[in-house]
Amino acid sequence: MLAIERRKLILEQLHREKRVVVSELSRKFSVSEETIRRDLDKFEKDDLVTKSYGGAVLKEDVGAEMPFKDRKKRNMLGKRVIGDILSEIIRDGDHILLDPSTTALSIVKALRSEGKKDLTIITNSLEVLVECAEDSDWEVISTGGILQAEKYALVGPKAIAGIESFHADKAIISCKGFDMDKGLTDINDMFSQVKQTMLKNATRRILAVDYTKFDQIGFSRICGAEDIDMVVTDVQPSDAWARYMKDKEVVCFYGDEDQRYRICQ
């Protein structure tokens, strides 16, 4: 079993049981206790757990929304993997809608690194606007709207109207949770409405989420899985998720530990 798969299973157990014990995980996965401690160190660095004597406890506020500056520190490697995959999918000359997620920021950085040309980026993210300003070859359009200062995002009727005045080749959104029953959900109606509008005004609809968003549910529904065309993530989904996405006719790309990109069959 790859380390990245083991960590996904440990995180799933944490969400179910709220705590884990190093010795038990060591026996379960047939690895050393030191290996498990390194896994828990990574979760602690990503602010997902609090380490305790002999194990770790899921942070009580892990389901709460954090300020943007704190969220962008979480699972940075996973977000880079997602950005790299999308930099291969996005073509020169594409018109792209991007939401105010920390994943969107990683996508823009990957596009710049790949030297993508003649892109048009339409976004309600202040951080994405600033990052895009570094590339004079791109046309960058702000949706306008009401500032949500803590999230560095523009929302409300003007943001929605701004999005509706365009039709993009690709809309790329993230979300708070992706659940088989509830679909895509987010922190509040304002964010969900903006993302719904992005999906409705694009030819190709892409969900970009790291492994921590699977089997999670946020407050406000965005849409069902049938309303997206593609999922891009950092870890191979479980067999159950692979079957679910196949049934919904959703293509899924993921990265492995060698940074190769695979399609989920």
Annotate the chain with three-state secondary structure. Answer: CCHHHHHHHHHHHHHHHCEEEHHHHHHHHCCCHHHHHHHHHHHHHCCCEEEECCEEEECCCCCCCCCHHHHCCCCHHHHHHHHHHHHHHCCCCCEEEECCCHHHHHHHHHHHHHCCCCCEEEECEHHHHHHHCCCCCCEEEECCCEEEHHHCEEECHHHHHHHHCCCEEEEEECCCEEECCCEEEECCHHHHHHHHHHHHCEEEEEEECCHHHECCCCCEEEECHHHCCEEEECCCCCHHHHHHHHHCCCEEEEECCCCCEEECC
Reported as a single tens digit per residue, the pLDDT across 63-90 is 445 454 544 445 677 888 999 999 999 9
The model's pTM is 0.75
Tell me what percent of the residues of the chain surpass a pLDDT of 90.
Answer: 64
Query: Of 185, 177, 176, which is closest to residue 65 (Cα–Cα)?
Result: 176
pLDDT > 70 fraction of the chain, expressed in percent and rounded: 90
Q: Note the pLDDT of residue 260.
A: 55
- Structural domains in the chain plus CATH codes: 3-58 (1.10.10.10), 68-263 (3.40.50.1360)
Mean pLDDT of 163-191: 96
* Residue 62 scores a pLDDT above 50: no
Report how far residue 142's alpha carbon sits from residue 165's, in angstroms, rounded to the nearest whole number. Answer: 12
**Mean pLDDT taken over the chain:** 88
Q: Which of the pair, 78 or 139, is modelled with greater confidence?
A: 139
- Distance, CA of 126 to CA of 147 (rounded, Å): 9
Q: What is the pLDDT of residues 93-136, one digit of tens each?
A: 999 999 999 999 999 999 999 999 999 999 999 999 999 987 67
What pLDDT was estimated at residue 256?
A: 63
Mean pLDDT, rounded, for 196-213: 96
Res 156: pLDDT:
96
